[in-house]
Amino acid sequence: MACTQYRIVNLYKPLGPTSFAMVHQLKKVLGVKKAGHIGTLDPMAEGILPVCLGQSTRIIQFLSPLSKHYQCTMTLGSATDTQDATGKVISTGDATKITDAQIQEAFQRFAGEQKQVPPMYSAKKNNGIPLYKLARNGITIERKPVLVHFFSIEFVNRQENRVKFNVHCSAGTYIRTLCHDIGQGFGCGAHMSHLVRSGVGPFDLESSTTLEVLKEAHENRLLESMLFSVEKVLAFLPEIRIKDEFVKSLANGRVLPKSSFKALPREFKPGMNLRILNGNDTILAIVEPLMNQDQFEKMDADAIGFKLKRVLVN
């Protein structure tokens, strides 16, 4: 169906299936050949799993680094080998004397930039082999700490040894490792017993939908209203406007001279991603500055100030 080619689905993944399985089912339901998800959810986790359809898979690389929001339940008093409820208990401890205030203090200690050691039961690779495959064979290897960022960790409530909290964190952060590390700090052990991903960039729970609802909408020709456009999901990127006569050159993959631009952001610098729009508000490409705006202003009209990261028009 043509309406899916440059669209994104905010799919809700239930407990049980893998992210890969959900994408496979979605492709069958919608009859699309190409699709890719943004940010993997473990089988025991549920929540939003944005999926790019058709040509929109070209923008996955720009959406994957977006920060994530989670609703988590941490169980104090036992640690597992997988750091979540699917694993074997490897240690236990008394959590009855740990107060709510101590838990909130622990959350404050972990807020901000942290070095986190990825769990063995994870999709991260070592020499091309996923760590979880090594772990299942009883092999444990040393993992280098990864820099992650917890923008906020908010205590919600506690029922006996189960603690509910909300997290806003950088991409690539393991919430089960956060639970494990907090348990280690208390000396009683802890693991993640429930996880819901509630936000990825512009995607939230309210706008998510299930496979069943999508199937019905597809059959009744009501699918279009349930899909996100590339323009909407990339609206967080600063925009550049170009003159109409340069659109064809851009579509052919040619870099644009300074004279092709009609409007630029007030500030930009190397390392940033910016979206190029035409007069109809259609995204044509993603580019990266080769210099900051002050240097750009001093350039000649035919000089090149941006490099193409991805052309989105044919």
Residue 3: predicted pLDDT:
64
Domain co-membership, 85 together with 191: yes
| Distances in whole angstroms, Cα of residue 216 to Cα of each of 36, 106, 107, 219 | 21, 46, 42, 5
Higher pLDDT, 118 or 307: 307
pLDDT at 144 over 90: no
Last residue of a domain, one of 180, 200, 220: 200
Domain co-membership, 25 together with 55: yes
Last residue of a domain, one of 200, 221, 252: 200
Evaluate whether 242 touches 275 at the Cβ level (below 8 Å): no
Residue 264: predicted pLDDT:
93
Evaluate whether 214 touches 223 at the Cβ level (below 8 Å): yes
Domain co-membership, 227 together with 242: no
Domain co-membership, 94 together with 194: yes
pTM: 0.92
Domain co-membership, 241 together with 137: no
Instruction: Specify which residues 172 forms β-bridges with.
Output: none
- Residue 42 among the catalytic residues: yes
Domain co-membership, 12 together with 89: no
Domain co-membership, 81 together with 20: no
Owning domain of residue 72: 68-200
Last residue of a domain, one of 145, 176, 200: 200
Q: What is the CATH number of the domain that holds 41?
A: 3.30.2350.10
Q: How confident is the model at residue 110 (pLDDT cuts 50, 70, 90)?
A: very high
Domain co-membership, 91 together with 159: yes
Domain co-membership, 8 together with 87: no
Q: How confident is the model at residue 80 (pLDDT cuts 50, 70, 90)?
A: very high
Higher pLDDT, 170 or 133: 170
Rounded CA-CA distance 63/228 in Å is: 13
Domain co-membership, 85 together with 177: yes
Rounded CA-CA distance 241/258 in Å is: 12
Domain co-membership, 99 together with 171: yes
- Number of domains, the chain: 3
Which pLDDT tens digit goes with each residue over 235-293? 999 999 999 999 999 988 898 899 999 999 999 999 999 999 988 888 999 999 999 99
Domain co-membership, 190 together with 174: yes
Residue 1: predicted pLDDT:
47
